[in-house]
């Protein structure tokens, strides 16, 4: 099957878009972690500002006052992750997010975990057409055939990487940049959307047969999994 171009940039929406069977309930939620985006999800500040919450803590401005977003910012985003299953999950969910708000995916994450065997690549790689049809009927996830089939394909590619490098963790963390990198399209941007490293990692994954892993998607993954620290200056959660 042809792999649509999932990561055409933060201002374009990828082909497919979710389809008529897959409503997008959170189009009004315009804040998301910096790095991704899409025509339906503008980035008003690209994570460049901070705000003080009702708890008196200074944090990045993008979570706003949404409790689930604040919890994601405080407890997950930017914290180094080395568990293979969670790394694989995040790459898959970033692919599903393409063209949507991350909040939509976050609120469906437990449904995704149930649908995809908690993102065990050894299980997901064995999914066939029956499982694809089951997933297309699952209203708890994003019912996009291309993204579902890409996840199954990527599970097989993940197993190949594990065989080659010992773990996804070893492979993915070998791409951790030693210095902060500028955005390739806008070097003056305070928070990048894609970098030289995310572009190179995207190319290598695609060479290995992965799908829905464009450079913007990959950079959002790097931010979330802690390969880079893009909490803004003054955020209480910034590591450096």
Q: What is the pLDDT of residue 47?
A: 40
Q: What is the pLDDT of residue 41?
A: 36
Please compute, for residue 209, the number of CA atoms within 13 A of its CA located in the half-sphere on the CB side: 13
Q: Which residue has the tokens 């008529």?
A: 20
Q: Is residue 148 part of a domain?
A: yes
Instruction: State the 10-residue block means of pLDDT for the chain, 240 residues long.
Output: 42 32 38 45 47 86 92 96 98 95 95 98 98 98 98 98 98 95 86 95 98 97 96 87
Q: What is the pLDDT of residue 45?
A: 41
Q: Angle formed by the axes of helices 145-165 and 129-136, to 10°?
A: 130
| Enclosing domain of residue 181 | 84-225
Q: Which tokens is 14 given? A: 């990828």
CA 193/CA 188 separation, integer angstroms: 12
Q: What is the pLDDT of residue 172?
A: 98
Q: Is residue 107 part of a domain?
A: yes
DSSP 119: G
Q: Which of 93, 39, 40 is nearest to 212 (CA)?
A: 93
Q: What is the pLDDT of residue 60?
A: 93
Q: Is residue 76 part of a domain?
A: no
Q: Quote the number of domains for the chain.
A: 1
CA 41/CA 54 separation, integer angstroms: 26
Which of 94, 149, 210, 219 is flagged as catalytic?
94
Which of 62, 69, 77, 102 is flagged as catalytic?
102
- Phi and psi, residue 50, nearest 5°: -130, 165
Tell me the torsion sign for CA atoms 83, 175, 109, 57: positive
Which of 69, 72, 77, 171 is flagged as catalytic?
72
Task: Verify whether residue 171 is a known catalytic residue.
Answer: no
Which helix (H) or strand (E) segment is 207 a member of? helix 196-207
Q: Is residue 32 part of a domain?
A: no
Q: What is the pLDDT of residue 44?
A: 33
Q: Is residue 48 part of a domain?
A: no
Q: What is the pLDDT of residue 33?
A: 62
Q: Is residue 66 part of a domain?
A: no
Q: Is residue 141 part of a domain?
A: yes
Task: Verify whether residue 72 is a known catalytic residue.
Answer: yes
Residue 186 CA, chain-centre distance (Å), reads 21
Supply the pTM of this predicted model. Answer: 0.81
CA 38/CA 104 separation, integer angstroms: 13
Q: What is the pLDDT of residue 223?
A: 96
Q: What is the pLDDT of residue 9?
A: 37
Q: What is the pLDDT of residue 53?
A: 81
Q: What is the pLDDT of residue 76?
A: 96
CATH of the domain at 131: 1.10.340.30
């Amino acid at each position: 099957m042809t792999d649509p171009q999932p990561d055409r940039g933060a201002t374009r929406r990828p082909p497919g878009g979710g389809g008529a069977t897959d409503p997008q309930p959170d189009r009004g939620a315009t804040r998301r972690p910096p790095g991704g985006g899409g025509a339906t999800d503008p980035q008003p500040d690209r994570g460049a500002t901070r705000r003080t919450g009702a708890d008196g803590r200074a944090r990045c401005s993008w979570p706003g006052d949404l409790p689930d977003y604040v919890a994601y910012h405080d407890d997950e985003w930017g914290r180094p992750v080395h568990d293979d299953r969670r790394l694989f999950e995040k790459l898959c969910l970033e692919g599903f997010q393409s063209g949507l708000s991350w909040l939509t995916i976050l609120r469906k994450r437990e449904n995704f975990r149930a649908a995809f065997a908690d993102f065990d690549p050894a299980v997901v790689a064995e999914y066939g057409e029956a499982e694809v049809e089951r997933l297309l009927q699952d209203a708890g996830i994003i019912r996009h055939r291309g993204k579902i089939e890409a996840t199954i394909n990527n599970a097989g590619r993940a197993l190949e990487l594990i065989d080659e490098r010992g773990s996804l963790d070893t492979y993915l963390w070998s791409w951790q940049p030693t210095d902060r990198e500028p955005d390739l399209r806008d070097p003056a941007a305070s928070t990048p959307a894609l970098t030289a490293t995310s572009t190179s990692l995207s190319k290598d994954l695609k060479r290995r047969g992965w799908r829905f892993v464009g450079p913007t998607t990959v950079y959002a993954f790097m931010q979330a999994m802690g390969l880079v620290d893009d909490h803004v200056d003054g955020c209480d959660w910034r590591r450096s």
